[in-house]
Amino acid sequence: MFNTEQRVENIFLTGATGVLGARLLLEILLTTEACVYCLVRANDQQEARNRLIELLYVYDPQRRCQSQLWRVIPMVGDVSAPLLGLSESDYYELAQGVDRVIHSAAGVNLLASYPALFDTNVGGTHNIIELCLLGKVPLLYISSFTVAGRQLFNDDYRLKESDLDLGQSFKHMSYARTKFESELAVHEAGKRGLRWAITRPGNIWGDSVTGCYPLTETRLKGLYYEVIRALVETGITFSAPQNFDVSPVDYVARASLHIILEIDRFASQTFHLTNPTPLSYDGIVDFLQQYGYRIKRMNNDDYLAALAENRLWFQGKPYHSQFTGMLNLFYANIEQGGSLLLDTEFTEQSLLPAGIACAPSDCRLMFCYFDYLVQRGFLPPPDQQGAMAEVVTLTTSR
């Protein structure tokens, strides 16, 4: 199964049909000579390959990677299954044959319960750790800045890369809890000889150069883009001055790949792949307005009450979207007040020699994203923005 004649690295990647994993796969194909073994949930290898290629081309519409697709080897499996759902022979060959593992697969539904996420997120990480220990393969675990738990809303705290267990609570934060527990498992496995590094991305947005992002191609739609859609659709918003991280996917992918390729330098370290220049939700609204969209700010309580009472009226009916469905969770956090600062100094210093830096979340970056959304028909151009939603009173509501 493994090509040992050429001096190519063999990388095992999970989650390659996801927002980050697909961009990681592209980065590997364009910047290394490695073969990439991708664990994919699918009925058969052909379906797995088709899904991988579909996602790859979202980030690579010019198909620069086409001649390199032979280096992509789909493996049908599931991180939560024994032996990752592989045959015994494939599993042992994989463990012996790869020289890096990047574990990006996870359930990322922020509303899912802990039991619903556990098998994939915590169980899956344990399974990947066992594979790595068996083959003595270094592991990059893709975690999340949400491991800070409820400290995320505490602006007195600055989370350092070396911080993990702060006694933080995870009330209503099941996803974050599973990422935290996975990090603990990785640390624990270090005592059994695992060589590891961890990256903690922030909110992953599109490619900072092309704007590309899989808007419809992943199973779970990107929440941040649903926020933008809801803002433009309704033309009404509340206010939230707290940090709202915008981490370009190309930065997260490049940095993550560099860290695992250079594991000798970066072993047992954690990195914050958040944007060192955070934006706020209000800042995003400002950029949308500068881009030309009409968006009216409302008093927060009035907005939420209108939503809860079905009085936010749009196109003849109460407005609901994926974003408004999550708003209670989102808003409870806003109400809590603060927003944690993530220390990125160690990460920035570590990546500097390789010339890897995060694009600042400024007008150029956000307009690049908006251009892409308009080009893909996800947003109307500003001059074709439809009628705004309105808040109706109970007596006039139908």
Ligand X SMILES: NC(=O)c1ccc[n+]([C@@H]2O[C@H](COP(=O)([O-])OP(=O)(O)OC[C@H]3O[C@@H](n4cnc5c(N)ncnc54)[C@H](OP(=O)(O)O)[C@@H]3O)[C@@H](O)[C@H]2O)c1
Contact (CB, 8 A) for 180 and 122: no
The minimum distance between CB 273 and ligand X, in angstroms, equals 8
Please report how close the Cβ of residue 131 comes to ligand X at its closest, in angstroms. Answer: 13
Pick 234 or 347: Cβ nearer ligand X:
347
Of 170 and 314, nearer to ligand X (C-beta) is 170
* Smallest gap from residue 43 Cβ to ligand X (A): 11
Question: Residue with the closest Cβ to ligand X?
Answer: 18
Q: Which is nearer to ligand X, 20 or 28 (CB)?
A: 20
Nearest to 117 by CA among 126, 125, 127, 107: 107
**Sequence-ordered list of residues with C-beta below 8 angstroms from that of 19, at least 6 positions apart, any chain:** 204, 213, 214, 218, 222, 249
Q: Which is nearer to ligand X, 269 or 385 (CB)?
A: 269
**Could you tell me the smallest distance in angstroms from the CB atom of residue 171 to ligand X?**
19
Q: Which ranges of the chain does DSSP label H, i.e. alpha helix? A: 19-31, 45-59, 88-97, 114-118, 124-135, 174-190, 223-234, 249-261, 263-266, 281-291, 300-308, 322-335, 345-351, 363-375
Count the Cβ atoms, other than its own, within 10 Å of residue 263: 19
Specify whether the CB–CB gap between 143 and 198 falls below 8 A. Answer: yes
By the criterion CB under 6 A, which residues form the site for ligand X?
14-21, 39, 41, 78-80, 104-108, 120, 124, 142, 144, 179, 201, 203-204, 218-220
29: CB partners within 8 A, 6+ apart: 36, 56, 65, 68, 69, 71, 72
Closer CB to ligand X, 107 or 138, in the complex: 107
Nearer to ligand X, 10 or 14 (CB): 14
Cβ of residue 186: shortest distance to ligand X, in angstroms? Answer: 12
